[in-house]
Amino acid sequence: MKWNIPSLKDLERYYWRCTACGTCRTAYNYGPPPVAKPICPAGTEFGFEGFYSSKGKAAFARGLAAGVLTFDDPEFLEAVYKCTVCAGCQHQCQVDFKPYIPEVIEAMRREAVNAGAGPMPLQKNLIQSMKNYNNPYQGPRRVRTDWTRPFKKAKKPIKDINKEHAPILFYVGCTGAFNTAARAVPTATASIFQKLGLDFGILGENEVCCGSTAMRVGDAEEFKRVASANLETFKKLHEERGVNRIITSCAGCYRAIKKDYVLATDYNEMMEGIEVIHTAAFIHRLLKDKELAFSKELPWRITYHDPCHTGRHLNTFIVDKDGSQLWEGAYVDMDESDCLYDEPREVLQAIPGVELVEMERIRGNSYCCGGGGGVMTGFGEWAKKNASLRIQEGMETGADKMVSICPFCHYNLNEGAKSIGSDIRLVDLVEMVDQALGG
């Protein structure tokens, strides 16, 4: 399978478009009332320009291209990895660099990997684990289905799609399967599907990591290996098991399949007849179609955290590719219609008893949970600290729970809450939906 993954050189003309204006540092909304808050977790923590937002990343890219900066310098290498690739900076920028910002950050990491320097030592374990176990958590294959045991016990086994037909593949993702704290996510998802009487199956022990983390830390080869395997599996499941919809509750998997897999030259052919949808959007659709109704009241005051991967990472940037509208390579506009901003909120508000109170930084301006881009693995303590900042923001709303739609956020934000002794807990939307469905 061929992949169009750009090199730093391919992106040169875009990072040269950064004007160094620093607008990318602030989550800004004119309002009124105006909102202006920090947006960059790296800048917030490390402070120096360079760490700060896409202005800093453009500086690094230029320094690399000019040969002034090299990956022989371990401090520089680390600086390139001290970014959650949350795309918060990208959301603010308005120039032609905008559509390519996370790509430039990751392309620098790919350079680092190619130079034999990257990723960070702990991230190297993650990549090795992918190679050995097809997941980043050094989890043995059979552990992947541990979360399904209660279903077996309750005589409600989940279909093994390797053996049986089903129109829906529930793509579980490694974090939900292996991270014990985040297992509530797949459990609740499967429970909802069963309550709704959906015909779905899982790949179980044969599920292979989506490759998102490998891509985020710059190991394109490892990403390509798993992504190619997955695309082939999806095609096969479509042909042989009748799968026409892949549902995932993981923001990382969703982003990878929607945005990274399209870099495969034959993506369209491989995915023909298959819809990829996040559970939150799927539930929202059922709700709108009146195929789902909540029977139980949840008297909770909640605030919603937009994961980067179901939010601004799904922005579509309209770029004038051939120069017919503005000029070649011009950033024309941003289309947010693929971002899951409204869907989870509407689902939450449909649950009886729920009161939604918003934080100041939401939607495209949402502050990252702090664990993305390999940071949770590479710099665990910093990831926790980031998360605690978001938790504090949540606490300021007076909410007793924070809701998200990403097992990464689930784990990291709960770690952040614990680290500052906050009572607030992160629950996933699917957990709430499962409870509100009763039964």
Partner 1 sequence: MHYMFDEEHVDQGVLKELRSIVGEKNATAAKHVRFAYSYDMSFVQPKMPDYVVMAQTVEEIQGILRLANKEKIPVIPFTAGTNIGGLCIPERGGILLDLKRMNKIIDIDTESHYAVIEPGVSHGQLAEALYKHKLRFGWPVGPPSASVASCAISHGIGGLNARYGLNSQEITSMEVVLPTGELVRVGSCAIQENAWHSVLPMPQLDGLFKGWLGSTGVVTKLGIGVHPIPPVLKVFTVSCSTVEDMYSYMLNLSNYEICDDLTAVSWWLAQVPIPYPYRPKPDGAPEWFSFANTNSFTEKEKEARVEIWETVVEEETKKGTSIKVTQYPEEALRARTQLPSQIVGSTKNYCKMAGAGISWPGTFTPAKKWAPVYNRWKEILINANLSPSVRMSMYRGVHYGMLRAMIPFNKQNPDDVENARRAIVDCLKADLDEGGLPYKPPVDFAEQINQRAHPGYLMLLKRVKSMLDPNDIMNPGKLGI
Is the Cβ–Cβ distance between 248 and 279 less than 8 Å?
A: yes
Q: Which does 41 bind (CB under 5 to 8 A by kind): ligand SF4, partner 1, none?
A: ligand SF4
Token pair for 294: 């909540």
41 binds ligand SF4 (CB under 6 A): yes
Is the Cβ–Cβ distance between 28 and 89 less than 8 Å?
A: no
In angstroms, the CA 409 to CA 372 distance is 9
Q: Which does 305 bind (CB under 5 to 8 A by kind): partner 1, ligand SF4, none?
A: none
28 binds partner 1 (CB under 8 A): yes
Is the Cβ–Cβ distance between 178 and 407 less than 8 Å?
A: no
318 binds partner 1 (CB under 8 A): no
Q: Which is nearer to ligand SF4, 40 or 432 (CB)?
A: 40
- Contact mark string toward ligand SF4, 55..94, x via CB under 6 A: x-xx------------------------xxxxxxx--xx-
C-beta neighbour count of 138 within 10 angstroms: 14
In angstroms, the CA 102 to CA 83 distance is 10
Residue 397 to residues 355, 357, 390, 402, Cα–Cα distance (Å): 11, 6, 11, 10
Q: Which does 86 bind (CB under 5 to 8 A by kind): ligand SF4, partner 1, none?
A: ligand SF4
144 binds partner 1 (CB under 8 A): no
317 binds partner 1 (CB under 8 A): no
Any residues with CB less than 8 A from the CB of 86 and at least 6 apart, and which? 40, 41, 308, 368, 372, 373
Q: Which does 88 bind (CB under 5 to 8 A by kind): ligand SF4, partner 1, none?
A: ligand SF4
- Contact mark string toward partner 1, 392..431, x via CB under 8 A: ----------------------------------------
Q: Which does 244 bind (CB under 5 to 8 A by kind): partner 1, ligand SF4, none?
A: none
Q: Which does 83 bind (CB under 5 to 8 A by kind): partner 1, ligand SF4, none?
A: ligand SF4
Of 39-47, 186-194, 271-279, 393-401, the window that binds ligand SF4 (rule: CB under 6 A) is: 39-47
Q: Where are the beta strands (DSSP E) in 267-345?
A: 275-278, 301-304, 316-320, 330-335
Give burial (CB, 10 Å; 0-12/13-18/19+) of 48: exposed
- Contact mark string toward ligand SF4, 342..371, x via CB under 6 A: --------------------------x---
Any residues with CB less than 8 A from the CB of 210 and at least 6 apart, and which? 171, 173, 174, 226, 227, 230, 250, 252, 253, 256, 257
Count of residues interacting with ligand SF4 (CB under 6 A): 29
381 binds partner 1 (CB under 8 A): no
92 binds partner 1 (CB under 8 A): yes
For residue 376, the SS3 value is helix
Residue 257 has what DSSP assignment?
Answer: I
In angstroms, the CA 35 to CA 28 distance is 5
Q: Which does 40 bind (CB under 5 to 8 A by kind): partner 1, ligand SF4, none?
A: ligand SF4
121 binds partner 1 (CB under 8 A): no
Answer for which of 8, 11, 41, 56 binds partner 1 (CB under 8 A) is 56
Residue corresponding to tokens 């082939």? 232
Of 27-35, 147-155, 188-196, 294-302, the window that binds partner 1 (rule: CB under 8 A) is: 27-35
17 binds partner 1 (CB under 8 A): yes
Token pair for 292: 């789902």
Q: Are strands 330-335 and 316-320 parallel, antiparallel or unpaired?
A: antiparallel
In angstroms, the CA 257 to CA 276 distance is 8
54 binds ligand SF4 (CB under 6 A): yes
Q: Which residues of the shown chain bind partner 1 in the complex (CB under 8 A)?
A: 13, 16-26, 28, 30-37, 46-51, 55-56, 59-60, 62-63, 66, 68-69, 73, 75-76, 79, 92-96, 326-327, 330-331
Q: Which residues of the shown chain bind ligand SF4 in the complex (CB under 6 A)?
A: 18-24, 39-43, 53-55, 57-58, 83-89, 92-93, 95, 97, 368
